[in-house]
Amino acid sequence: MGALPLQGQLENARVTGYSGLQQVSIRDGVIQTIQPMDAPPPTLAPQKIDLEGDWLSLGGIDLQINGALGLAFPDLLPTDQSKLQEICQFLWQQGVDGFLPTLVTTSVDKFQQALATLSAQKSPGDSDQAQILGVHLEGPCLNATKRGAHPQKHLQPLSIETLQAVIGPYKDSVRVMTLAPELEPSGEAVAWLRSHNIIVSLGHSLATAAEADVAFNQGATMVTHAFNAMPSLHHRQPGLLAAALVHPQVWCGFIADGQHVDPLMLKLMLKASPEQGLFLVSDALAPLGLPDGVYPWDSRQIEVTAGTARLSDGTLSGTTLSLLAGVQNLVHWNLCYVGRAIALATEAPRQALGLPGMGPGQSARCLLRWRHHPQTQTLKWQRLFPSENA
């Protein structure tokens, strides 16, 4: 699975979003065409590389990641710019093209401080760094009963006044906000967020199916970490998740670490939404990239064991597994076919954000090559254009 030149003809590739084996033409580091293998090749046939039936995709997009390399995004300071750049480089090496740094519930001052730091971070362009695509605010307008590891003392009522105080002058930097819709049924807060092009995601909520439907009709289009911090599916009280899974315009993020959701329930959800509407997130915490151990987390501590992070009272607080580890888990657990597992971390989150997916015009530097080993149900990936320092 060696590296290839910045131009060439990739042959016998399985491409996310395309049926059958494809030939992919690359020139000057950009995808030019994606065509079936029986289509006429380009007039000027470049160097040909046989991918031998391996899968080809863009890199991952992580819409919910709380930190990495020991730095929690809510703790960001203006002096952390170099550390933030290091995290962007690290995530690129983990196969991630772009991400939404997620700020969990904290004080208004810390929200403002972190938003100011992230807003000042320059885009890396085509360098070997994951791009910051905006910020995901997970809180503070959450239901206290479903707050999970979010500190109750910093929870806020859902109102336009709260949103203005938390977001301040950084409306253009916030891409997604997670909230509990039952805290403000009129929808004024949702409408305010949508008027500033901020995607509304429902989570940490006790919303009924009817309350969720109202929020979806008001403009909410996402659900944060499906199954977690919300009522379970119930045959008489279907709840928020059931309403989301049958809604054609709603995207549900989910975690595939084997701890947040049992694989059998993930299989049920994948069968319930066979076409689209789901995407993978890592929900990774600050110790991502570090060994297991005990680490600070706001004013508390978390213990990481085998990639799972918990508070001292046992409350599940997150994971330290990467986004693409979730793809590998889905395949290893035999929950869906390889192409869909890959797309759940690469194509689906792009669609949920309204970004272009795999196709002509995309940078070839973002391409990942995936090799599936059916005997062991393992899946390995590599960047086709690894950096010199990789």
* Residue among 180, 149, 2 at smallest CA distance from 74: 149
Q: What is the CA radius of gyration of the chain?
A: 21
> What is the residue type of 14?
R
Q: Is the peptide bond before 263 cis (omega within 30 degrees of 0)?
A: no
Q: How many residues does the chain have?
A: 390
Q: What six digits make up the tokens of 278?
A: 């789901």
CB–CB of 95/58 below 8 Å?
A: no
Ramachandran angles phi, psi of 26, nearest 5°:
-125, 130
Q: Find out whether 7 and 42 touch, Cβ atoms under 8 Å.
A: no
Element (H, E) at 348: helix 348-353
Tokens representing residue 317 in the block: 């607080």
128 among known catalytic residues:
no
| Block residue for tokens 């929808």 | 187
Residue pair 290/70 in contact by the 8 Å Cβ criterion? yes
Going by C-alpha positions, the residue among 345, 287, 381, 336 that lies closest to residue 56 is 381
| Residues paired with residue 254 on neighbouring β-strands, in sequence order | 280
Alpha helices in 45-171 (DSSP H): 81-93, 108-120, 160-167
Q: Among 62, 75, 283, 298, which one carries the catalytic annotation?
A: 283
- Decide: helix, strand or coil at residue 87: helix
Q: Could you write out the DSSP letters of every residue in 21-58?
A: EEEEEEETTEEEEEEETTSPPPSS---EEE-TT-EEEP
For the sheet containing 308-311, what is the strand order?
293-297, 300-305, 308-311, 316-319
Provide the annotated active-site residues: 283
